[in-house]
């Protein structure tokens, strides 16, 4: 296997019925993170993992990109988290910064994804033309895919939602988006590569990495909320 390996963990809430967004509490997310990150540590004791959310830009203790802090650790993994409905996705890399965004298929019917104001606010002129050339169904998928790509890149860079998302162009054509081809994205002097896949748990997942030739090794874990 060549290229940069990224591990992708899929946690599916095992309860029957549709899960509300707010059910992924900080405790449940952190439990999943400890499980996903434990094997990357020199020690197998999960209690030694400290998750730090301090913003490196402003110093706020809660809204920064989550990162792993572990004393004596020479190679701290980069990871990113995203959840939608009943699915939580975590990606982990030992080599490069990474970012992920996942949106459940059911989000396609949400009003915000189909509103013209949404497209005008986040899509570049070229991305607008891509969406405009599609039929209604493909157009919804394209909007959702473009949104997840922008989120993944910004989360990987630790920037969050910037002022003008239209400047973050993440697809040059519908074929690149539909076929899951990696797309080069330039952000503040940095080069990122973003790819989008459809997960069998039901939804679109975009992964951003500093390395073009990345291979995602997917895993799946059933997580029951305590």
Q: What is the reported pLDDT for 46?
A: 45
Looking up residue 74, the CATH number of its domain turns out to be 3.90.470.20
Estimate the crossing angle of helix 125-132 against helix 136-157, to 10 degrees. Answer: 150
Domain of residue 33 covers 4-223
Domain count, the chain: 1
Map tokens 């995203």 to a residue.
82
For the chain, first and last CA: distance in Å? 38
Q: What is the pLDDT of residues 23-60, one digit of tens each?
A: 677 888 888 888 888 777 654 454 566 777 776 666 66
- The model's pTM is 0.86
């Amino acid at each position: 296997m060549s290229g940069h390996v990224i591990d992708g963990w899929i946690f599916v809430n095992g309860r029957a019925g549709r899960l509300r967004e707010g059910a992924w509490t900080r405790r449940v997310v952190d439990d999943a993170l400890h499980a996903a990150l434990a094997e990357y540590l020199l020690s197998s004791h999960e209690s030694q993992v400290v998750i730090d959310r301090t913003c490196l830009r402003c110093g706020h203790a809660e809204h920064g990109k989550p990162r792993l802090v572990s004393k004596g650790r020479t190679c701290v993994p980069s990871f990113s988290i995203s959840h939608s409905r009943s699915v939580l996705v975590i990606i982990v890399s030992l080599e490069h910064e990474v970012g992920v965004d996942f949106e459940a298929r059911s989000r396609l019917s949400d009003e915000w994804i189909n509103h013209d104001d949404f497209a005008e606010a986040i899509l570049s002129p070229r991305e607008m033309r891509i969406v405009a050339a599609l039929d209604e169904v493909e157009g919804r998928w394209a909007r959702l895919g473009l949104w997840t790509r922008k989120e993944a890149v910004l989360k990987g860079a630790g920037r969050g939602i910037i002022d003008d998302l239209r400047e973050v162009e993440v697809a040059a054509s519908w074929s690149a988006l539909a076929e899951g081809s990696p797309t080069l994205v330039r952000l503040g002097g940095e080069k990122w590569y973003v790819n989008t896949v459809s997960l069998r748990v039901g939804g679109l997942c975009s992964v951003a990495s500093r390395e073009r030739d990345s291979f995602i090794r997917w895993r799946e874990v059933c997580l029951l909320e305590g």
